[in-house]
Amino acid sequence: MKFLDQAKIYIKAGNGGSGSSSFRREKYVEFGGPDGGDGGNGGSVILESERNLNTLIDFRYKQHFKAENGKAGSKKNKTGAGGKDLVLKIPVGTQIYEEDNNSLIYDFINNKEKFVVATGGQGGLGNTKFKSSTNRAPRRKTDGKKGEEFWIWLQLKVIADVGIIGMPNAGKSSFLSKCTRAKPKIANYPFTTINPNLGVLSLDDKEIILADIPGLIEGSHKGVGLGDKFLRHIERCNTLIHLIDLSEKDILGNYLKIRDELSKYDKKILKKTEIIVLNKLDLVDMKEIKKELEVLKKRIKKDFEIISVATGENFERAKKVILKKCI
């Protein structure tokens, strides 16, 4: 299934039905009173979150959505039928924004949440409602009110406990695949992953959701490499696994570049719990990079795990560290 995390759609709630202007017509009753019924209310547009959905792709091909109009009232004081509500299913983690794509309307955090985003118009009044002591035979009736209509933006932010971040080709997808049963696309070239992948890490009856965030590069906060689209998925994560390729030159420089991009996007992200994992131990000689690792530890003042996803070396230990820090 194709992944889409942003969509602009036009929604229109149903109009209220018109009220009726009619009078009783019965045998031997020459001047029957008013009996015009009210119009039915228009249907509303409702968004409902669904845990089994993980993309907004359906909104790429259809962008206009309209609820049913209410039916007109009729004689014998019959109220018109109400318009049917239109319920649109969206993934958990979706946010609704106004047309400016900046003003937040609602944030779907839980499964089966419902939010009325556009309210249907109220039905018009039938002439019965205008009967009074001075006007026994009113002909007046009102039209139904218009339903709300406008453009909105839908933005999907992946909900996960842990986000796996790092430079392209650091081994994030392989790490996710080995930790969980997820089967992301894996290849030995940058930007293999172009959409977030989710997996569940289980150990000793404990579970956490991991998200493989596509590779970040210098300038990501400005949209370079589609980085700004990827960064929004980090916002909901409580913990970040920062995966670093040991075989790349300048390990410290690569670490600082990612931290700088996070800071420029949103400084609050830097306050999240960070687990640093150095990958591809199988491709390096530890004696040759010992000094560089000492510089790294002295500069960042944090512990890190050294593993090989390919061979599994130190991998189980790293999993336990992750679970301990996340639960």
HSE toward the beta carbon, residue 69, CA cutoff 13 A = 13
Flag the least confident range among 33-37, 69-73, 142-146: 33-37
pLDDT at 314 over 80: yes
According to the model, what pLDDT value does residue 223 have? 46
pTM here? 0.75
Q: Identify the top-confidence range among 10-14, 26-30, 269-273.
A: 10-14
Residue 301: closest CA among 250, 254, 252:
252
Domains (ranges, CATH) in the chain?
1-156 (2.70.210.12), 162-326 (3.40.50.300)
Q: What is the DSSP string of 145-187?
A: PPPPEEEEEEEE----SEEEE-STTSSHHHHHHHHSS------
Flag the least confident range among 4-18, 26-40, 46-60, 254-268: 26-40
* Calpha distance 76→35 (Å, rounded): 5
Residues 76-118 have pLDDT tens digits of: 999 999 999 999 999 999 999 999 988 999 999 999 999 999 9
Per-residue pLDDT, averaged over 232-259, amounts to 90
pLDDT at 266 over 80: yes
In the chain, % of residues over pLDDT 70: 88
Residue 105 three-state SS? strand
Report the relative pairing of strands 45-50 and 86-91 from DSSP bridges: parallel
According to the model, what pLDDT value does residue 284 have? 92
Count other C-beta atoms under 10 Å from residue 111's C-beta: 12
Residue 85 three-state SS? coil
pLDDT at 198 over 70: yes
> Confidence class of residue 50 from pLDDT cuts 50, 70 and 90?
very high
> Confidence class of residue 31 from pLDDT cuts 50, 70 and 90?
low
Per-residue pLDDT, averaged over 191-204, amounts to 65
Cα separation values, 25 from 19, 34, 38, 77, 121, Å: 18, 10, 18, 13, 31
pLDDT at 225 over 60: no
pLDDT at 312 over 60: yes
Average pLDDT, the chain: 86
According to the model, what pLDDT value does residue 274 have? 94
